[in-house]
Amino acid sequence: MKKISYQFGGLALAGILFLLGGVGAVQAQAAGPCLDNRSIAAAVAGGQFRSLTQLAQQSGFNPQQTFNLRVCRINGQPYYYFDTLDAYGQTRTYVLRATDGVPYIGG
């Protein structure tokens, strides 16, 4: 009986890791060329992109706790890709459209 439960647990863990890896692979494949920091700053200053502070107010993350920030194109539209730390120290990845803050839904 123990052997079966260990096998089931191992299969469940493998399935979860496969699904999580698949999500990252889809996002990586969907992302097109990324902008450099100067281009991002110019787009925010020119009103073409929303600022990180505006997105934080809309989406509820702490802009002081963001890292790995980049803007890449998906299907021709610019998206912010970044990670944040929540109050418990857990990392959360965001992919938000730079023009209006709408989250990316793969597909």
Q: Give residue 73's pLDDT band: very low, low, confident or very high (50, 70, 90).
A: very high
Residue with the two structure tokens 């399935």: 15
**What does pTM read for this prediction?**
0.68
> Which three-class secondary structure string do you get for 29-89?
HHEEEECCHHHHHHHHHCCCCCCHHHHHHHHCCCHHHEEEEEEEEECCEEEEEEEEECCCC
Q: Give residue 18's pLDDT band: very low, low, confident or very high (50, 70, 90).
A: very low
Residue 29 to residues 26, 72, 74: CA-CA distances in angstroms? 5, 11, 9
Residue with the two structure tokens 């709408």: 102
pLDDT in tens, 81-96: 999 998 888 999 999 9
